[in-house]
Amino acid sequence: MILTAGGAAAGFTAVTVLALGVAAGRPDVAVLAVPLLVTAVWAAAHRPERGARVVVRTTTGRHETGEVTAVAHVDVAPGTEAVLLRVSTQGYRSQEALVAGDRPREVGLSLRTSRTGVHRMFRVDAMTESFGGVLVAPPTRTGPVELAVHPATRPLRELPLPFRLAGLTGGHTSRRVGDGYEFHDVHEFAPGDRIRRVDWRVSARRSLDVRTGRLGTLYARRTFATADATVMVVVDSRDDVGEDVSAWAGGADIRMDEITSLDLARQAAATIARAYLDAGDRVGLDDLGRRRRPVPPAGGRHQWERIAQRLVRVAPEGWPDKRRRAPQLPSGALVVLCSTFLDDEASRMARQWRALGHRVVAVDTLPPVRTAFLNGFQDTALRLVLLERRQRLRALGRAGVELVSWTDHPDVGMHVLARARLQGARR
C-alpha cells in the first residue's frame, strides 16, 4: 500500500504546521498537527498487507446468444475499506463499481451479445483503498477470460432427406421392402416371410377351394422398411463478415451487437444438426476452412455434445490452401453446406458432391449488408461482388444443388425441400 497525493499533502501540511508552531513558540498551533500525525502513524502501522485479489469465474451452465454471465470473487485483506472495480470487454463500455472491503464478496458480471464462438470477456481492474483513500494499492488486472457462446437453435417443422436411406432402422420410411408401418403390397407367402404377416382375408378370397374348404396359397402383406438418414453438416469458416461492408477488408472491429456470417453459419449448423439428431438420424460435422479430421456421423445425445463443442470453436485461421477435391463423405449422405459463397471454393465443393450423387443443400449465411457509409468506389466494388455471388448461386441451382437462405424464413425453405422430396418419392 502506498500514500496517495492527498495523504502525502496532509502529512506534509502536518509536519509544516508542527514545525511552525515549535519555531514560533505557539503550542496551540503545534497541537493542530497532532491529529494528522496520529492518523498517518496509525495508517502506516495498520495498513493492509496486500491489495484485493480478484478471480473471475464463469457461471455453470451453457452460455448461449443473449445474456452472458460470470462472477468476480473479491478477496480482501484485513484493514481494507473499499475496492474500486472496473470491468471492461472489447466492444463494450467499461463499467465501474465500488465494493465495501469489510469481507470477501462476489460480484455478478453480465453482458448481452449477438455473437457466438469463443470470445475473451470480463477484464477486471481492481484498486484497493484504505483509511479514507489515504492508502491505496497499485491497480491489479484479472482476465479477460475465454467464454464459449453457443448459438441458440431454432425449431424446424420438416427436414429434407437424402435421395437414398441406407440405415437398417430409423424413423423414416424408405423405398425398400422390410419391417415398417406403411403398406407396400400383398404377395405370395415365400421363405423368410413371417406368419404374423399373413393376410388371411386376401388368402381366403384368392385361393380358397370351396369344394374342399382348403387354402391353396397363402398371401402375406409387405411394408416399406424404416431407415435413418446420414447427414453431413459442412461449415465454411473461411469468411466471417458482418453487416457493415466497410469492415470486410479488415482494419475495423465488428460490433458485438451485430451478427456475422459465421454466427449465422453456427446457428444454422447447430439448428439443423439438433433437428436431425432429435429425429433419430446420424449427423457428422466438417469444416472447409480447416484440414482436420471431421466429426464422423453418429446419433444420440453425446454426438450432439461433440458437434456443439466443435462448432463453437469454428473460426477463421488464415487463408487455407485450395482443395483439389471435395472431402470424402459417407455414401448416400445428405450434405448441408453453410457458406456465404463469396468465392468459388464452396460452390466448387458443392458441385463435386452433387456430381457424386449426394443430395446437397446450400445454406446461404450472408447477413443483410449496410451500405450507408460506402463511397462510390466501395459501392461499385460491392455491386460487382454481389453480382458474381448471384451468378454463382444460379450455377449451383442449375447443377442440382438446392438453395436455402438462413436470413429469410429458413423454416419455410427447409419445409419446401422436404415436401419436394416426398412428392418425388410418391411419383
**C-alpha cell, 397:** 441451382
Structural fold of domain 230-426: Rossmann fold (3.40.50)
The Cα–Cα gap between 209 and 344 comes to: 71
The label of the residue with cell 450507408 reads 372
Domain 53-149 in this protein, CATH class: mainly beta
Q: 419: how many CB neighbours lie within 10 A of its CB?
A: 12
Judge whether residue 425 has pLDDT over 90: no
The label of the residue with cell 450434405 reads 335
Digit-coded pLDDT (tens) for 188-233: 667 766 766 666 677 667 776 666 666 677 777 675 556 678 899 9
pTM for the whole structure: 0.76
pLDDT at 63: 83
**C-alpha cell, 241:** 463478415
Digit-coded pLDDT (tens) for 331-343: 888 999 999 999 8
Q: What residues contact residue 29 under an 8 Å CB cut-off, 6+ apart?
A: 17, 20, 21
Reduce the DSSP state of residue 383 to 3 states and report it: helix
Judge whether residue 83 has pLDDT over 50: yes
Digit-coded pLDDT (tens) for 338-370: 999 998 999 999 999 999 999 999 999 999 888
pLDDT at 387: 94
